[in-house]
């Protein structure tokens, strides 16, 4: 299959075009540096199918950051196959700067053609272009398109690309492309390259003066009017704070309805399955293991979708770049960069894409520091844990001053992560000061109306991959957990039954429970305690007791080191809430009594301690794997795992002791 | 002492005369900050740093130390450097 690579400046619409042509849903947004890896897709030409390669945006072939280097590697064919042709994407509203890359590329000998995007915004800036003149001047076939709006893009582009692929590449001496690219790659002769760039701009200037006219330099734009507020010293920061608040509040209020539907659907399915299956031990695998485990994940899809959707809107409108702009000064002081804000906010959704998004930060220390603190942003996988624990221990009607106590605890959990992240970054800077130059140099794209449909589709894609990944982890863990909690060593399970019968005689039945219910609850508690899972839980209990956790929590804690969202599923399996929803587990946990004291087991100190533990601990194998890939070794992921684990333990201990003395 | 871009006030424009030597020179040139280009200071972040400039047809955010490397001339005198 022949390959065509999409090359162009950041934020000129490459990925939007790629998605249109291939039908894929790669992440697009209105900020430079959205694409940080190569995407591959298929596109049909009249007589063949070709592979399209979407590459990160670059301003020039002089590559410094990892996303820029990736483009040069593709053009060199380093570790990948070279493309057969290049489709250059040119932003018409910024033609002068875009043509620099065109000038550099044309020396490389690839068959090249160009598409012009953003002609509407060029018009708004008073720019008029004669395309056929430009074609002649550049010796390049050019097609004007609008990948955001044109529904009929495939036909003209397939003809255009077919023609391109059938043009013979210009004859060049062997290894000419390589030697030309190496010049940029080595990056040693910056002085020479600067001079070359100035000369290229001279040529561009003379080309453009022949085919582009500009009405006036005056520029009354909507963007500037909005920016007056968004970068205002007072209003700007208030707006940033308000945007974040709306983000978090929206996640809860908007998701409430859909979450109940999912819960109801699972309760209904679970009841159906239970009546359908024969009474057999193996049926328990489905009703007590799989279903509650899955429900524990699926129920949070609405929240995760809304979180991704709202962050998507912020990125697609162009606001996130302004957030970078106003925070750069502060971020610089603690060894980060204004650009770090984008991955950090993205980290509230998921640390994995956020780690990759740091590629566009050029300074290696700033990039590393950003990656180090990204896992401290409370990601969507922690939401389920927070929601369960908060609703378990804090009544919805309780207020602290004018603020609902539940909201206050949730906000504090997020802020605990943010504040610690800033502190860690500052410490990192102190002990690991950067030797490289730090730069900001960031294009501020014009605001645009967010593409609701696109943002929604992309948020849904992320939910799907969350479901697939979490789903498979949960599948394995819930089966293992079910087996471990169904069987026990020797005849311990039989003895548990006898013990439970004795306990029923000795303990008083609580008033709100039927005696039969009380007996079956005690029995299942004793059986679980006697099972393999119980033995494991009891083995680690001494280590977690100072934090206020019992052995059941211990099992959930261990299983969520694979992925945090497993916590809720595990708890629902352990508490045998077969309807598997939050209120079901919560009801079970609230009813849970200490068999030795007869009092409720899971109070507010327990919940706060666990929330802090989850806020800090690095319980995500995928995040560690991505960090290993991005940093090139296991040193950082393992060090962070240990450091954040220790912080989680210490933090949970302090919070537990403090709230025991304070709140109960 | 020639003027540099950071000394412009919001809303003022000028023409780029030259770029100081150094590591940022290439990056600035690539972003279109080359002699002869019109530059206009649009606004700044709280605290006065970074600053948003219009370079020809687009907005570019630069830190103070980056803007200091861009030497400028009043608009009527420049244009063909």
Residues of chain B positioned with their CB less than 8 A from the CB of A445: 59
Largest CA distance in chain B: 35
pLDDT given at position A29: 92
B33, A100 Cβ separation under 8 angstroms? no
CB count, 10 Å around CB of B50? Answer: 28
Consecutive sets of 10 residues in chain A, 664 residues long: mean pLDDT of each?
95 94 92 92 94 96 91 92 95 95 92 94 88 94 90 91 86 74 66 88 93 75 89 92 85 83 83 77 73 78 89 94 95 95 93 92 94 95 88 85 86 93 96 88 93 93 83 79 83 81 74 71 79 90 92 88 82 63 71 61 88 95 90 95 97 91 62
Single out the residue of A193, A336, A308, A313 nearest to residue A243, CA to CA.
A313
A532, A540 Cβ separation under 8 angstroms? no
Angle between the A291-298 and A235-276 helix axes, to the nearest 10 degrees? Answer: 160
Shortest Cα distance from A365 to chain B (angstroms)? 17
pLDDT given at position A421: 97
pLDDT given at position A576: 63
CB-closest option in B30, B43, B57 to A127: B57
Locate the domains of chain A by residue range.
3-214, 487-663
CB-closest option in B13, B34, B49 to A329: B49
Q: Flag whether the pTM goes above 0.90.
A: no
CB-closest option in B26, B30, B42 to A224: B42
DSSP H stretches of helix in A212-318: 222-230, 235-276, 281-284, 291-298, 301-317
CATH code for residues A3-214: 3.40.50.300
B21-58: pLDDT as tens digits: 888 899 999 999 999 999 999 999 999 999 999 998 89
Residue A197 to residue B30, Cβ atoms within 8 A: yes
Residue A60 to residue B40, Cβ atoms within 8 A: no
Single out the residue of A160, A156, A35, A168 nearest to residue A87, CA to CA.
A160
Residue A338 to residue B50, Cβ atoms within 8 A: yes
> B54 in contact with A at a CB cutoff of 8 Å?
yes
CB-closest option in A62, A198, A224 to B34: A198
Buried b (16+ CB within 10 A) or exposed e, A617-648: bbbbebbbebbeebbeeeebbeebbeebbebb
Domains of chain B in start order, with CATH, are 3-71 (2.30.30.90)
Complex ipTM: 0.93
CB-closest option in A324, A329, A444 to B60: A444
User: Can you tell me the distance from the alpha carbon of A259 to that of A266, in angstroms, rounded to the nearest whole number?
Assistant: 11
Residue B30 to residue A236, Cβ atoms within 8 A: no
Residue B24 to residue A233, Cβ atoms within 8 A: no
Interface test with B, best of A189, A329, A338, A362 (most B CBs within 10 A): A329
Q: How confident is the model at residue B5 (pLDDT cuts 50, 70, 90)?
A: very high
Residue B61 to residue A441, Cβ atoms within 8 A: yes
């Amino acid at each position: 299959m022949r390959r065509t690579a999409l090359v162009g400046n950041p934020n000129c619409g490459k990925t939007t075009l790629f998605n249109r042509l291939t039908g894929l849903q790669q992440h697009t947004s209105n900020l430079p540096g959205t694409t940080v890896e190569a995407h591959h897709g298929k596109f049909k030409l009249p007589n063949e199918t070709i592979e399209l390669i979407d590459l990160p945006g670059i301003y020039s072939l002089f590559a410094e950051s990892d996303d820029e280097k990736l483009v040069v590697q593709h053009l060199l064919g380093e570790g990948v196959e070279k493309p057969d042709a290049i489709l250059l994407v040119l932003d018409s509203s910024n033609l002068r700067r875009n043509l620099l890359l065109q000038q550099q590329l044309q020396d490389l000998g690839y068959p090249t053609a160009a598409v012009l995007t953003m002609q509407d915004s060029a018009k708004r800036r008073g720019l008029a272009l004669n395309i056929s003149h430009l074609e002649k001047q550049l010796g390049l076939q050019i097609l004007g398109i609008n990948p955001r709006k044109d529904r009929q893009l495939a036909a003209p582009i397939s003809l255009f690309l077919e023609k391109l692929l059938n043009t013979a590449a210009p004859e060049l001496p062997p290894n000419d492309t390589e030697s030309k690219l190496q010049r940029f790659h080595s990056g040693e002769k910056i002085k020479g390259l600067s001079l070359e760039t100035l000369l290229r701009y001279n040529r561009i200037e003379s080309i453009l003066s022949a085919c582009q006219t500009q009405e006036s330099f005056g520029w009354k734009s909507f963007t500037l009017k909005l920016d007056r507020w968004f970068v205002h010293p007072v209003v700007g920061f208030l707006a940033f704070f308000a945007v974040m608040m709306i983000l978090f509040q929206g996640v809860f209020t908007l998701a409430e309805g859909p979450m109940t539907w999912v819960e109801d659907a699972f309760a209904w399915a679970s009841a159906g399955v239970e009546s359908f299956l024969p009474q057999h031990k193996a049926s328990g695998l489905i009703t007590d293991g799989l279903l509650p485990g899955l429900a524990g994940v699926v129920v949070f899809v609405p929240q995760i979708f809304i979180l991704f959707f709202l962050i998507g809107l912020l990125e697609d409108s162009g606001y996130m770049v302004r957030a970078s702009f106003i925070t750069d000064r502060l971020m610089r002081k603690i060894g980060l960069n204004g650009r770090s804000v984008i991955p950090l906010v993205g980290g509230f959704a998921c640390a994995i894409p956020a780690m990759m998004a740091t590629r566009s930060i050029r300074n290696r220390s700033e990039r590393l520091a950003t990656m180090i603190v990204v896992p401290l942003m409370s990601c969507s996988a922690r939401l389920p844990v927070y929601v369960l624990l908060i609703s378990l221990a804090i009544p919805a009607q309780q207020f602290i001053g004018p603020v609902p106590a539940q909201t206050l605890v949730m906000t504090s959990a997020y802020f605990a992560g943010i504040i610690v992240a800033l502190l860690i970054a500052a410490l990192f800077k102190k002990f690991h000061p950067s030797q490289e130059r730090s730069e900001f140099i960031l294009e501020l794209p014009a605001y645009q109306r967010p593409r609701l449909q696109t943002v929604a589709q992309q948020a849904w894609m992320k939910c799907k991959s969350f479901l697939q990944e979490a789903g498979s982890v949960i599948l394995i863990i819930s089966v293992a957990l079910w087996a471990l909690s169904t069987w026990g060593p020797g005849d311990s399970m039989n003895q548990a039954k006898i013990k439970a019968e004795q306990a029923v005689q000795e303990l008083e039945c609580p008033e709100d429970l039927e005696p039969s219910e009380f007996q079956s609850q005690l029995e299942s508690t004793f059986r679980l305690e006697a099972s393999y899972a119980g033995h494991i839980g009891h083995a680690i209990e001494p280590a977690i007791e100072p934090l206020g956790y019992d052995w059941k929590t211990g099992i959930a804690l261990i299983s969520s080191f694979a992925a945090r969202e497993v916590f809720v599923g595990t708890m629902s399996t352990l508490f045998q809430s077969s309807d598997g929803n939050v209120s079901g587990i919560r009801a079970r946990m609230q009813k849970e009594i200490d068999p030795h004291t007869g009092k409720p087991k899971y109070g507010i100190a327990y919940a706060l301690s666990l929330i802090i533990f989850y806020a800090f601990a690095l319980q995500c194998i995928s995040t560690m794997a991505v960090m290993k890939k991005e940093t090139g070794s296991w040193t950082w992921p393992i060090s962070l795992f240990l450091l954040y684990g220790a912080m989680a333990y210490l933090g949970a201990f302090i919070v537990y002791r403090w709230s025991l003395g304070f709140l109960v | 002492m020639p003027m540099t871009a950071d000394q412009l006030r919001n809303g003022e424009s000028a023409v780029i005369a030259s770029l100081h030597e150094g590591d940022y020179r290439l990056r600035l040139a690539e972003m279109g900050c080359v002699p002869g280009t019109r530059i206009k200071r649009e606004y700044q972040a709280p605290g006065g740093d970074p600053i948003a400039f219009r370079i020809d047809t687009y907005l570019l955010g630069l830190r103070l130390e980056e803007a200091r490397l861009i030497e400028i001339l009043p608009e009527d005198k420049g244009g063909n450097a």
